Amino acid sequence: MIELWHCEGARSFRALWALEEMGLPYCLHMLPFPPRALRKEYLSVNPLGTIPYLIDGEERLTESAAIPHYLATRHGPSPLALAPEEPGYGAYLNWLHHGEATLTFPQTLTLRYTVFDLQSLHAQVGKDYRKWFLSRLRMLSATLEDGRAHLVGGRFTMADVVVAYAIQLAGVTGARAEIAPHVLAWADALQSRPGWQRARAAEREGAAALAP
């Protein structure tokens, strides 16, 4: 069975959402954040101490943007991934990487220096990266201006999973109020999907079990 290590609200939610969209059986291991500090024994499972961490047979994956694509292709074929011969395949891959490297990474610095470490001398770094994130939303905003429901391929794919999480995270960083309404509407609509709702329910249940 697939095993996933996850922290509530973290980018590992992409993997959890993808598992639910695929309807794959899995075992969820919930951890407090940051696990490398609060669950040091986790380092014996994943030496990086990061989440997500996914085990599937002999495979070990740590990247939240790679896991959804891996699941859709390894456990497919699935309409949740575009095939190389399909129009838009390049855009599909680009959105997978854009969602993490361009839209999520800067927000992790904002979280670190303006939310988690309020005593940090680097608070301005967090504020600067928040502006950086907002400026990099231009491609997503332009793509969604036509009112489309999905980023590429005319259907819901793992690209939507990866990018929508970045918008979801903006609610934690405080950037949500500065995101264009049509971008928020797109991301919020995806939360009505049964797969997202099942993932959120599993996450809440697991988090509740962690509470002292």
- CATH of residue 6: 3.40.30.10
104 & 156 share domain: yes
Whether 183 is covered by a domain: the verdict is yes
Q: What 3-state DSSP class applies to 74?
A: helix
pLDDT at 119: 58
Extended strands (E) in the chain: 2-6, 26-30, 53-56, 59-61
Q: Are residues 111 and 180 in the same domain?
A: yes
In-domain check, residue 83: no
Give yes or no: residues 55 and 109 share one domain: no
Q: Is the pLDDT of residue 140 over 60?
A: yes
Share of the chain above pLDDT 70, in %: 95
My answer on whether 31 and 12 are in the same domain is: yes
pLDDT confidence bin for 198, thresholds 50/70/90: very high
Query: Is 108 a member of any domain?
Result: yes
Q: Is residue 61 part of a domain?
A: yes
Query: Does one domain contain both 140 and 126?
Result: yes
* Domain CATH number, residue 136: 1.20.1050.10
Mean pLDDT of the chain: 93
- The whole-angstrom separation of Cα 212 and Cα 148 is 44
The answer to whether residues 135 and 64 belong to one domain is no
Choice among 101-105, 143-147, 173-177 with the minimum mean pLDDT: 173-177
- Do 117 and 177 lie in a common domain? yes
Predicted TM-score (pTM) of the model is 0.93
Predicted local confidence at residue 190, as pLDDT: 98
pLDDT in the model for residue 145 = 97
**26 forms bridges with which residues in the sheet?**
2
Contact indicator for 71, 19 with CB cutoff of 8 Å: yes
Distance CA 54, CA 16 (A): 10
The pLDDT of residue 153 is 97
Average pLDDT over residues 159-187: 96
Residue 186 reports pLDDT greater than 90:
yes
Is 93 inside any structural domain?
Answer: yes
Same domain for 142 and 73: no
- Alpha-carbon gap, residue 13 to 203, rounded angstroms: 8
Domain that residue 186 falls in: 89-193
Q: Are residues 127 and 110 in the same domain?
A: yes
Mean pLDDT, residues 14-36 taken together: 96
CA dihedral (49, 106, 147, 171) in degrees, to 10, reads 70
pLDDT for position 77: 93
118: pLDDT strictly greater than 60: no
Q: For the chain, what is the domain count?
A: 2
pLDDT of 116 reads 62
Contacts 24+ apart (CB under 8 A), 146-154: 147/182, 148/186, 149/186, 149/189, 151/91, 151/92, 151/95, 152/82, 152/88, 152/91, 152/92, 152/95, 153/82, 153/86, 153/87, 153/88, 153/92
203 and 159 within one domain: no
pLDDT 10s digits, 46-83: 999 999 999 999 999 999 999 999 999 999 999 999 99
Is residue 22 pLDDT above 90, yes or no?
Answer: yes
What would the mean pLDDT of 95-116 be, rounded to a whole number? 88
Q: Are 157 and 151 in contact (CB under 8 A)?
A: yes
Q: What is the pLDDT of residue 24?
A: 98
Q: Residue range 26-34: average pLDDT?
A: 95
Distance of alpha carbon 158 from alpha carbon 127, whole angstroms: 29
Grade residue 115 by pLDDT with cuts at 50, 70 and 90: low
